[in-house]
Amino acid sequence: MRSFILGLCSILFASTSSPAKASSPCEISGGGDENKIEKASYRLVFQADPRNINVGKFFSLKVQICPTDGSPLPDGLKIDATMPMHGHGMNYRPTVKQTAPGIFQAKGLMMHMAGSWMYRFDIRRGDRSTRVQTKLILK
């Protein structure tokens, strides 16, 4: 019995004496240039490829969505970008595919002029949708 208690104590001591490095479940691997947005019950992280978006050039976005309230992961995502000051959006509709639970890849985005753009991410879970937006200044 004594050896069992000593063994249990050593396991507890080992698990508490060297704290594990906290890892955020909502990060894009190879990150560093990712953008983070939090709204309602979601944290959204996205990264462009190429990382520097150029006017008139196609790019893609890798997006990871994490519920912040313990809700299930979303099952869909729609992405668009608009220029609110001009009253128009992109000339092309991107395609969005889910590559893993909570991870999406959008291809075919192009911003055809410099200025202030608004990314719109419509996060879907069942028949409910949550819109998350953020600004981008393209020079």
Domain ranges for the chain = 26-138
Domain 26-138 belongs in CATH node 3.40.50.620: no
Structure tokens at 129: 């949708």
Compute mean pLDDT per 10 residues along the chain, 139 residues long, and list them: 41 36 56 80 95 96 94 95 95 97 97 97 95 95
- Burial class of residue 126 in the structure, from the number of CB atoms within 10 Å of its CB (0-12 exposed, 13-18 middle, 19+ buried): exposed
Where b means 16+ CB within 10 Å and e means fewer, 11-36 reads eeeeeeeeeeeeeeebbbeeeeebee
